[in-house]
Amino acid sequence: MGNEMVMSCSATLPDPYFRNELTTIYLGEALRVLHGLPAGLVDVVLTDPPYSSGGMTRGDRAGQSCKTKYQSSSTEKSYSEFSGDNRDQRAFLTWCVLWLEELRRVAKPGAVCGLFTDWRQLPIITDALQVGGWVWRGIVPWDKTEAARPQKGRWRAQCEYLVWGTNGPSWSVEGPCLPGFYRGSVFKEEKRHMTEKPVWLMHELCKIAWADDAIILDPFMGSGSTLKAAAELNKQAIGIEINRDIADVAVQRVSEPTQRPLW
């Protein structure tokens, strides 16, 4: 249902960059692609937008490459740079509201939206979610374990956060009761993007899409962790990515056989 609906929704929607029986990928800027999707299409939004974190001013952020911000000097792998990570707070809030409003149009009434963020941007992303018209429901921490970001004389910044809400005040009371936090490491040998969320984590989060015909949308899909996890659960998913090289990684990932059982 989902893929056929996407194909016929609007003349402004670009042709899919990739499609198989479960996954549809669009190459382009997220907001422009979202404009082409039909209203009331998706049941769940799970995404990891650029954080625009670190640095107090736009100049600070623009002067740092993503590799400088997110990779330590000891990292052996080299990942592609990605865009959209150098906005100051006011620009970041405005930008987030634009695509969150459009996401709400694309989502079904009662749909769930989950957005990743770090501690620096946690206040602003909770504001953006609400200004974009979603009903804020809570925060789900991801504890990356004691291996993450040690700081002498300080508490470790070892958590990131999923801020979540619903499209309207009502949502389904059916489905599983999921955990309120997740703990586990990034497996570096599986990592394919500089700031990638691990597939095991997205696999667990995608269980919020419990209905058999549920459609998951990731408008900032990066290397495709969400789409891979959705495929493992036999769910339809739509992804959007602006960087062709990174989109190609996602295509490769979702084309590989699933490693976990379908349930």
Tell me what pLDDT residue 64 has: 52
Q: Tens of pLDDT along 128-140?
A: 999 999 999 999 9
List all residues 6 or more positions away from 152 whose beta carbon is below 8 Å from its beta carbon: none
> Which helix (H) or strand (E) covers residue 147, if one does?
none
The token pair that represents 157 in the structure block: 């910044």
DSSP string, 176-224: ----S-EE----TTT--STTPPPHHHHHHHGGG--STT-EEEETT-TTT
Q: Per-domain residue ranges for the chain?
A: 41-237
| pTM reported for the whole predicted model | 0.83
User: Which of 169, 165, 167, 145 has its CA nearest to residue 157?
Assistant: 145
pLDDT at 254 exceeding the cut of 90: yes
Q: Tens of pLDDT along 56-73?
A: 555 555 555 444 444 454
> Which helix (H) or strand (E) covers residue 166, if one does?
strand 159-166
Q: What is the mean pLDDT of the chain?
A: 85
Q: Tens of pLDDT along 23-63?
A: 999 999 999 999 999 999 999 999 999 999 865 555 555 55
Domain 41-237 fold is: Rossmann fold (3.40.50)
Greater pLDDT, 147 or 124: 124
pLDDT at 89 exceeding the cut of 80: yes
- In this structure, the chain runs to a length of 263
CB 103 within 8 A of CB 220: no
Query: How far is C-alpha 126 from the chain's CA centre?
Result: 15
pLDDT at 148 exceeding the cut of 90: no
- Whole-angstrom Cα distance, residue 227 to residue 217? 8
Determine the residue type at 251: V
